Each structure stands twice: as C-alpha cells, then as structure tokens.
Structure 1
Amino acid sequence: QWPCLDGSFEEISDNTPKEQLAASTRGAENAGGEAITADVVEKPQVGTRFLHAHLRAEEVENRAPFTPVDHEGPVEMPDEEYPFQLTTGRRLAFHNTGTMTQDYKKVKDNEELLEICEEDAQRLGIEDGDFVSVGSRRGTVPSVKARVTDRVRSGLVFLGYSFPDQVPTNVLTINAVDPQTGTAELKACAVQIDRAAR
C-alpha cells in the first residue's frame, strides 16, 4: 500500500505503544534486499501509551517494583555418575526448533553439536568432531558430534534443541520447575558423556 518503506515505518511508529520510541528505516538500503533492519530512535510523543503501565506507581517514583528472592541452585546437580551439568538453549541462527529457519541457505545442512571445554574433552579422550553419547537419568542422545570450545567452562556442556530429528536434546532435560515462578527448569540437569561409535 505504501510506495516506499519510509511511509509504512512511519505509520508503524505512530501507532506503536512505546514510550518515547519509534522505528525508522535508517540503514535499510544497505541490507542488499536480504533483510530490513529497523533502528529504534528517540521520538517524543506526548501521551503515548506503553506496555506494563499497571506496574508503575507514584509511590515508587515511576519505577516498576522488583521483589528480591534467595538464589536456589538447580534441582539436579552433577555427581559421580553424571559428572557434567548440561545447559540447553537456542542457537543464534535458528528460531527455537529450527522449523522456521532450517531450510535457509545460510543455515541449511548445519547440525547440532555438543559444546565441551578443552580440559574436559582431553580428560575424556574426545577430539573436536568426535561423536559422543550424552545420557541423563531420563534418557540418552546416542550420537552427537562434539565441538571443543572455550565457550563453556569445565564441568558444563551445552546442547541446543534446533535439530530435534537429529538430536533429541529434550529427552535429557529434567521435569522440574522453579519454586518461585513455576518456570520449567530446562536449563540445568546432570549428564554423563562417553565416546560413541559412529
């Protein structure tokens, strides 16, 4: 409907309920037709609504209230049988499970990798690119390629969940919730790692 990007972004900006912020198309012409980036720029708009206005109160000087809680560690900690702590998460190139992004040229034919630090890999006799099995008290990933990296510390390993058909990461995770928020504890569980035959 708009002959140029500026017009459509201006309408979005004028109708977005954000406090003192708006989107602009600055830099869009440098995207080479592959992507459009929207910068957030200051744009005073008197009376603009903003998200979570109900959290604001005069008695706390227009600041959202925070409630401190005591730190509690993960429900399942590493032990002799399962000596590593697994943390899971998404990969930068993928949107969660990859169903929306896995066929893009930039990411096609990628694979899931278990990230492990050099010290732990050497102790287990694992080299970068070796196949390993990862097991927890709930399930096993029988074969995944190891990536020796400095991105994780000793005792911690990382496994994404963007390739569930290749590497069913969630069979390892624990069925526990945070006692304060009720959020699933998908980010920490104890695992063991062994070399796998490929």
Structure 2
Amino acid sequence: MFTGIVEELGEIIGREDLVDAARFTVKGPIVTSDAGHGDSIAVNGVCLTVVDVLAEGAFTADVMQETLDRSSLQRLEVGSRVNLERAMAMGSRLGGHLVQGHVDGTGTVVHRSPSENWTVVRVSMPTSVARYVVEKGSITVDGVSLTVSALGKEEGGEHWFEISLIPTTLDLTTLGSAEVGAPVNLEVDVIAKYVERLQTVGA
C-alpha cells in the first residue's frame, strides 16, 4: 500500500526484454536506502517487487507481460525518468490517499494550461475508469496522488479529467515534463470500486 507521495525521481538504467516479461533496473538512492529483496516499490504508480538491490543505489524488478500490457511501463527505456515511492509504513502520516499500486487503466495527456503559479493538465481516460472519478475526489496519475479539479466528456465520447499541479509537483515528478500525447497510469480510489461491488452483488 502506498500514499501517492513521490519520494524521488528515479531513472531506468537497464531493461532486459524476456519472452513474456521484462526486467528493469531502476536507479533510486532514496527508495533503495532501506530496501531489500521482496520489498515493494511503486514505479510510476505500479507496485513492483524488488528482486535485487545493487550497490550503486539501484534495484531490479521483473514486470510480467500483463502489467506491461495494462500500463505505460511498456514504453520505458534506458534514460526514462520515473516516479518512485516505497510502501507506506504503518503509523506514519497519510499525506496523499490510499494507493494500491494496481493500475486501473491508462490515460493520455491531452492539454496543458500553464499559469504563473500552477499548471492545469487535462487527461483523457477510458470509460472503465471514468465511472469511478468524481470532482474533488482523489486519483493517482503515474503514482502521484492528486485531486480532480474538473471532469468532462468530448462530443466524440472521450472522457477527461483535469488536475492542477503546483510547482513542487511539477519539479519533483514526471508530470512536470509529461507532454501532450504522453501516456499515464491511472488508479482510482479503491473505495469507489468496493462500493460498486457491494451494490452489484447485493446482500
């Protein structure tokens, strides 16, 4: 379980493509400072299991084909910057919201509106995700816990939401450099999914 508060910007320093998976080597001195084999680290919002911790402040993680297909990790290459967060510790402050690290779908950055003190980013989302997103609710974008500032739907049927990014988020996460057309991982508030399940299954 995570909080959506990114601890550092890491970098992909190695990628090995296997038959039905990929092994990434990720540089992140902060998140590896106390990491060990089997620990969980979120990479762009995807919960990955540490295979090895390397001396140079890096770790390796295996990503199965299903995860590659369902997330934007497929597009990562050597040199890509990534948002990193260690699993939350019980008893610590919950700065963002409860994040599982299980991607519900991918969206696309469709517009950026910079202003003097913040930047509004519009992201398209699939219908399967849109049903769980509410204005002023929480959503995780590439592992960053954010508040939905606006919602809408294009005439062609494409759903979108907007998030307002403060300078700290722009400087310390990949969202600051995510250009129009960039894919992003989306995770909705898990509570919404549980509520829907209770309503559909019934008593």
TM-score, L = length of structure 2? 0.30
Structure number with greater CO (CA < 8 Å, separation at least 6) is: 2
Bigger share in strand: 2
TM-score, L = length of structure 1? 0.31
Work out which of the two has the higher radius of gyration on C-alpha atoms and give 1 or 2: 1
